[in-house]
Structures are given as C-alpha cells and as structure tokens.
Amino acid sequence: MSTLVVIGAQWGDEGKGKVVDAVAAQADVVARFGGGNNAGHTLVVDGRKIVTHLVPSGCLYPGTECVLGAGMVIDPDVLADEVAMLRGFGLLAQDELRVSLHAHVIFGFHRDLDGAREDLAARGPRAIGTTRRGIGPAYEAKAARRGIQVRDLYDRATLRARLEQNRDALAPELERLGCGNAIDVDALMKAAEGWARFLEPTICDASAVCHAAIVAGRRVLFEGAQGALLDVDHGTYPYVTSSNTTAGGVCTGLGVGPTAIDAVWGISKAYATRVGAGPFPSRLEGPLADRLRDTGGEYGATTGRPRDCGWLDLVALRYAARLSGMTGLCITKLDVLAQLGHAEICLAYEDGIDPGRDGLALARPVLRKMDGWDDPRLASDLASARSYEALPPVARAYLDVVTEAVGVPIALVSLGAERSQTIFVQRPFESR
C-alpha cells in the first residue's frame, strides 16, 4: 500500500495538521488537493508552534516533497510569506516544494469582493461566515472560465486578457458594493511578474508528479483541507466551502485516478466544532459551551474566531464516512473531554432525520451521557498513555461506541498537541 488520503470528517478544524504531520513522517510525498489559505494547520514540535495555511504538513520533514495541486486556489503573497517563515526555521528546501501549473491564482480583487459580499450579507440573515480570503470568488471565476491559472503568469498576453475580462465582469458589482479598489490591470501585471519569478522553480504538472511517485512505489499522502461536511456538493449547503473536501477531491484536485487510492482516514475531534454560519445539531450553548471552547482552545488558526462547540455527532460522522469511503478514523483531543470532566455523544436525530436526504437544519440530537469522564485521575492517565491498550477503560469504551456507530475502525488517537501524544492503532501505508 503506497497511498493514503487524510481528510477532515467534520466541519474543519479537527486537528488535521497534527495528524498529517504524524503520518507525513512516513511519507515520501505529501500532496494537497483543494482549498486555499482559508485553512490553517497548527503544528507543535518540541514546544514550537508553526501554523501553515497552504504548504502541506510534510514541510517539517527534510526530503519530503510537498505538492500543491490543481484543485487549490493560491494567493502567491501568502505562499511567499509562508515559505519564508518555514525556511527561516530551516525547513522546506527549494526542491521540496512543487506547485501545479493548473492551480488558480487569488488576486486582490477576489479578496475585495469576498469581504464586501460578506459585509453586505452580515446585515441580514444570509451571512455564510467566510474567511474573506478570496477563496469563493476565485473558485467562482474558475467555474465561469475567467479564472487565472499559475501557467497564465508566464503568458503575458493571456494574463492581460484574463485580467481585463475579470475587470469588465466584476467592475459593476465592486462599484455597487462600494469597493474603493478598482481592478488596476497594469498594477496586477507588474505584481504577477514577481509572483512568476518566485514560483518558477516550483511549477509542475502535479498529476504527473503524483503518478510517477505512485508507480515508483513511493508513499504518497493526500492531504485535504476543511472538512467533509463543508463539501460544496455534499455538505451543509449553502453553508459550505467552495471546493470538494471529501476523498473524491483527490481525483479531481490532483489528477489521480480512484484506483490509485489505497486507504482513506477521516479525522474527527472527540467532540465537534464549527466556525461560521450553518446547521450544527449538537451545538452547545451557555457556560458548558464556553468551558469546552476554552479547555480545547477552540479559536480559529486562520481567523482567530471563536468556534461553536458541541458533542460528537455520530450521525453526521457516519454520513461523512460514507461520502469518502473511510477505512480508518483518527480521533483527536480525547484529552479535552477528560479535562472538561463531562462527556455526551449524539447517537441519533429525533424524527429519523437523515443527513443525506433531509439535511441537518431540522436535526435535533438524541444525546447519551458517557459515564466516568468526571474521574479526576482520567486526565493524567490519558496524558501518560502511549498505546491503545494503555488507554483508560472509559476512553476505550468511548471509542468503541464511535466505531460501532460509524462502522469504521479507529486508526489513530491523539491525546494532546505534541507529536509524542499520538497513538497509532493502524499503521499508515501498510496493507489492511
């Protein structure tokens, strides 16, 4: 087995950075297939906190190739800052970063449009809660066939024509929304010259890079962004991101055929969180929600926004597992429940609501209180566990409930932010 997909199984923020970092230690290539800098991976290594938004988590391992795929939308200024930060730590050598020629570029007018639309929506009931990073407008341009790919940065005539096309298409809306920044084609052409120079050593056909690695038997980790329930086709639409976040996004976002995928691991916290608007059946309110948020440090790595918190929703998790054909579950932040001293879990929805058929807007959770989480010794017992067998019985019972309800075995358990606080139940890149 040489390929593994790791994706979020909730609404994002599941601890993907730490899990992908742990798995990437055994990978030769880490390739990201979708999204942009609306995602954030927080990595803690030897007490040092590193936050990445575009570069895959394999960047922490010398010799690991990091690939940004065609399904991504890339802000070159953000990427340049991130690369400079990583190289300041002695990470990500020049030949370890590869950027797809087919990826789309985020321009300033995409960010302006995103922010202005969100400001307008915030005055009414239609706010989505975007990160204002220009992600949606860049994907919108892609679908409208006026998007600008990385390859267009090297064709000045095509680039100017595309920029003029965007100026003509967007000027009326930008004016209506009161954006003071008009699309200055000449200024953007000049900025693009610098982007092209920065990106030139990295550009590639990401599909060919991944294919060659797979044929050579190298271990390839496909990294997702956001979470399965934010998928533009299968998530809680319209409160979703603008790309495909399920495992199928690997095929379209990296040009890899489905028969090349050996296994899919989905990441879920031991509870649930969500940022932005949209349905969240197991959401908590009041002091308990505040305690859970503060105990888990639930504030966005990209925006700093406080996350809504709730109990683990096994109905939604089972739906996400089906969408991606998950073969393993990675449960993170089990230690937070021990520190909280209280745990409940959503086993079903009232009135038989089905997330695929009915959506989640009307779902009302049927909760079960999990016994034993008020034991004052539990937090220290979890902190010292380094194998599945060493987990306290109450923690193993909790994971058994998850496995039985979702129908997917546990692959990994995370008990804290440090690399050492990770228990592999299945070994990545090994045959099942």
- The residues annotated as belonging to the active site are 13, 41
Helices assigned H by DSSP within 177-298: 185-199, 206-215, 249-254, 287-296
Supply angle C-alpha 278, 280, 281, rounded to 5.
140
Q: What span, in angstroms and rounded, lies between the C-alpha atoms of 89 and 99?
A: 21
Amino acid at site 33: F
Please state the separation of Cα 88 from the chain's center in Å.
24
Q: What span, in angstroms and rounded, lies between the C-alpha atoms of 60 and 75?
A: 21
Q: Which residues contact 193 (CB under 8 A, 6 or more apart)?
A: none
Burial zone of 178 (CB within 10 Å; 0-12 exposed, 13-18 middle, 19+ buried): exposed
Q: What span, in angstroms and rounded, lies between the C-alpha atoms of 336 and 338?
A: 5
Q: Which residues contact 377 (CB under 8 A, 6 or more apart)?
A: none
Length of the chain: 432
Mutual angle of helices 156-176 and 185-199, in 10-degree steps = 130
Q: What span, in angstroms and rounded, lies between the C-alpha atoms of 76 and 318?
A: 37
Supply angle C-alpha 413, 420, 342, rounded to 5.
45
Minimal CA–CA distance to 227: which of 432, 21, 31, 41? 41
Q: How far is CA 246 from CA 23, 228, 234, in A?
A: 19, 5, 8
Q: What span, in angstroms and rounded, lies between the C-alpha atoms of 197 and 99?
A: 13
Please report the DSSP string for 13-67 in residue order.
Answer: -SSHHHHHHHHHTT-SEEEE-SB-TT--EEEEETTEEEEESSS-GGGGSTT-EEE
Residues forming a β-bridge with 299: 306
